[in-house]
């Protein structure tokens, strides 16, 4: 079989249940008619069979899973009804009471809440480490007790990176990466020996701000465990969202390349603006892990964060005064979105708590969309120039 570049794979993969249709097909049926008791038995006992019952599997969802597995270089994938569905199924499906988890301290807020509020209820201990320090991961592993190490790279909000080569080489526990900020064309953690990679496909993969979808990929053995739990857990991907996932994959390459180009341009412009204290973008030489970013990211993608010199007031003014960029939570879509954590998602935190979360009062996160970079630059400039 010819080996294609990931951009090509993203366009062609996941058509097993397509028949002669060119575009991915929506199988809306919740159940399927068996041709006899033998076939019904086979479908009921092999949970990878996509024509049994919709909570187990579905042909459209299966094709989305095939496409993601091929892109990640994984033996298997399982789709979920959200990124959090995938995260919680991995944690609760693979860990038991008495187990220990090592996780990085700067995580997507709900992943962090799962570790802090849910894991202790099930007797699972979690140690948080600085994910940018490879030695800290290894030092926190308790031989025979640590079941899992959980990383997110690039991470919210300052786009800090975990060194995948070192992370994938950790001996003993399973290693899991949430790679949402860098979809498979940009980064493939499994190539570094990482065991499982998770994406909130809600973001760059579906890519149009019209689906809620998650996916996890890895070995057939681990996915068999996760699938078994997922059927009971019930956070099943809707066929329509999986269809939107396959729709998004066909333009993933061009979208990520354009978003990277726009973000690189805007990051440079922001870095030169007097209202800005610091810009964080993996593609800028000023990023504290620039060399690592060059090694493990094929594309730097569309997320930038920056600290405004004027703190919280300046952050509020900026997000109020932009006209083209919009104030909304999410990322990776065609529309450029801004968030100002100190006045929205993290409004209840004290300055020192914000700092522990890696957020300053003037931190703004921007997900660059597909609008023309000149229009975005003009918009940001008029808003930044007006900040008092």
Closest by Cα among 254, 236, 192, 193 to 64: 236
Asked if 357 is part of the footprint of ligand PLP (rule: CB under 6 A), the reply reads no
CA dihedral over 312, 113, 335, 251, signed as positive or negative: positive
Compute the least distance from the CB of residue 206 to ligand PLP, in Å: 9
Site string for ligand PLP, 172-211 (x = CB under 6 A): ------x-x-------------------x-xx--------
User: 203 catalytic, yes or no?
Assistant: yes
Which residues, 129 to 168, sit near ligand PLP by CB under 6 A?
152, 156
Compute the least distance from the CB of residue 377 to ligand PLP, in Å: 25
| Annotated catalytic residue within 55, 166, 247, 321 | 55
Decide if 89 contacts 226 (C-beta within 8 A). Answer: yes
Residues contacting ligand PLP: total by CB under 6 A: 14
Residue with tokens 């957020």, as numbered in its chain: 359
Asked if 82 is part of the footprint of ligand PLP (rule: CB under 6 A), the reply reads yes
Tell me: cis bond preceding 30? Omega within 30 of 0 counts. no
CA 300 to the chain's CA centroid: 14
Closest by Cα among 254, 380, 259, 261 to 321: 380
Compute the least distance from the CB of residue 73 to ligand PLP, in Å: 21
Cβ-proximal residues to 294 (8 Å cutoff; 6+ apart), any chain: none
Stretch of 77-85, 92-100, 130-138, 372-380 contacting ligand PLP, by CB under 6 A:
77-85
10 Å Cβ neighbour count for 318? Answer: 26
Decide if 322 contacts 339 (C-beta within 8 A). Answer: no
Compute the least distance from the CB of residue 82 to ligand PLP, in Å: 3
| Annotated catalytic residue within 51, 78, 158, 203 | 203
* β-pair partners for 371: none
Asked if 214 is part of the footprint of ligand PLP (rule: CB under 6 A), the reply reads yes
Asked if 230 is part of the footprint of ligand PLP (rule: CB under 6 A), the reply reads no
Give the residue with the Cβ less far from ligand PLP, 83 or 207. Answer: 83
Give the residue with the Cβ less far from ligand PLP, 146 or 202. Answer: 202
Rounded to 5°, the CA angle 357-205-51 comes to 120
- Separation of alpha carbons 16 and 338, rounded Å: 38
Compute the least distance from the CB of residue 84 to ligand PLP, in Å: 4
Site string for ligand PLP, 90-119 (x = CB under 6 A): ------------------x--x--------
User: 178 catalytic, yes or no?
Assistant: yes
Compute the least distance from the CB of residue 198 to ligand PLP, in Å: 7
- Separation of alpha carbons 277 and 259, rounded Å: 23
Compute the least distance from the CB of residue 180 to ligand PLP, in Å: 4
Closest by Cα among 31, 94, 360 to 224: 94
Cβ-proximal residues to 201 (8 Å cutoff; 6+ apart), any chain: 68, 79, 83, 211, 213, 214, 215, 245, 248
Give the residue with the Cβ less far from ligand PLP, 142 or 235. Answer: 235
3-state secondary structure of 333: coil
Asked if 212 is part of the footprint of ligand PLP (rule: CB under 6 A), the reply reads yes
Q: Which residues bind ligand PLP (CB under 6 A)?
A: 82-84, 108, 111, 152, 156, 178, 180, 200, 202-203, 212, 214
Q: Which residues are catalytic?
A: 55, 108, 178, 203
């Amino acid at each position: 079989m010819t080996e294609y570049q990931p951009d090509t794979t993203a366009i062609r993969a996941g058509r097993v249940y397509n028949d002669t249709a060119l575009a991915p097909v929506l199988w809306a049926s919740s159940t399927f008619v068996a041709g006899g008791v033998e076939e019904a038995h086979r479908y009921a006992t092999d949970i990878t069979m996509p024509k049994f019952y919709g909570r187990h599997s579905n042909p459209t969802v299966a094709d989305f899973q095939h496409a993601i597995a091929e892109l990640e270089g994984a033996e298997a994938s399982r789709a979920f009804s959200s990124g959090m569905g995938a995260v919680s199924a991995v944690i609760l499906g693979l860990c038991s009471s008495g187990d220990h988890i090592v996780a990085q301290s700067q995580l997507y807020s709900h992943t962090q809440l799962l570790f802090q509020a849910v894991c202790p209820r099930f007797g699972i201990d979690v140690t948080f480490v600085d994910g940018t320090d490879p030695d800290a991961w290894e030092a926190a592993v308790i031989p025979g007790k640590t079941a899992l190490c959980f990383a997110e790279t690039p991470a919210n909000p300052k786009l800090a990176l975990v060194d995948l080569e070192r992370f994938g080489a950790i001996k003993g526990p399973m290693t899991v990466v949430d790679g949402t900020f860098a979809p498979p064309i940009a980064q493939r953690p499994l190539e570094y020996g990482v065991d499982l990679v998770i994406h909130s496909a809600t973001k760059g993969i579906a890519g149009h701000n019209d689906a809620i979808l998650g996916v996890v990929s890895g070995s057939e053995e681990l996915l068999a465990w996760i699938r078994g739990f997922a059927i009971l857990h019930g956070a099943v991907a809707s066929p329509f969202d999986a269809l939107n996932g396959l729709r998004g994959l066909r333009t993933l390459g061009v979208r990520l390349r354009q978003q990277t180009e726009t973000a690189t341009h805007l990051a440079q412009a922001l870095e030169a603006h007097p209202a800005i204290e610091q810009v964080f973008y993996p593609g800028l030489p000023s990023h504290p892990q620039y060399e690592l970013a060059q090694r493990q990211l094929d594309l730097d993608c569309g997320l930038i964060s920056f600290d405004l010199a004027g703190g919280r007031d300046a952050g509020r003014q900026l997000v109020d005064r932009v006209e083209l960029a919009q104030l909304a939570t999410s990322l990776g879509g065609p529309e450029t979105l801004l968030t100002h954590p100190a006045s929205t998602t993290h409004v209840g935190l004290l300055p020192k708590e914000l700092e522990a979360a890696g957020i300053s009062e003037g931190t703004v996160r921007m997900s660059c969309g597909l609008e023309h970079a000149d229009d975005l630059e003009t918009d940001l400039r008029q808003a930044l120039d007006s900040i008092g």
